[in-house]
Structure 1
Amino acid sequence: MYGGVLAIAVIGAASGRFQSAGMTRALSATALAQVLVGIIALAAEFGSTAPSFPEAIVLSTGFFVALWLLSAYLFLKAERG
């Protein structure tokens, strides 16, 4: 599923022609996909045998969502000048 998140980022960036407006949309969609992967992982209890089961998924998902959204914000800021 995480490969799909990266595919959304690459395909979105390419379809936005690597312009700041397109990159903002692509990275926002990537952040949404990352959240959905985290929700699916929690719902399906992937890794539930690990001692840090829900915390690891929540923290890693939150970390990467924050990075995607920060990148989207910076592209938005670059678009507006």
Structure 2
Amino acid sequence: MWRFSISARVDPQTLPRLVAGFAQRAIVPHEMTMQIAGDTMRVDVAVSDLPPAQADIIAAKLRELFAVTAVVSAPCAAAVKPGQP
């Protein structure tokens, strides 16, 4: 599991552009959350079964997007929710 933490300026097109960065690679995020504080949007995305090289490419592409100010990607342990094996 990889987690991407993305900071960006608040703009109506920011979230669709971020999602498109994954969709263009046929990746469906496991989890995605978004919060706005002032003029900054923070988006956290968790993706399962992603090779490290592909995670680096995705992070680099996200950094190129309009309004994105920072992207941090890191491997993380997959959380197991109650009722899941």
Please, what TM-score do these two structures have when normalized by structure 1? 0.33
Please, what TM-score do these two structures have when normalized by structure 2? 0.32
Q: Which structure is higher in helix share?
A: 1
Q: Which structure is higher in strand share?
A: 2
Q: Which has the larger radius of gyration?
A: 1
Q: Which has the higher contact order (CA 8 A, sep 6+)?
A: 2
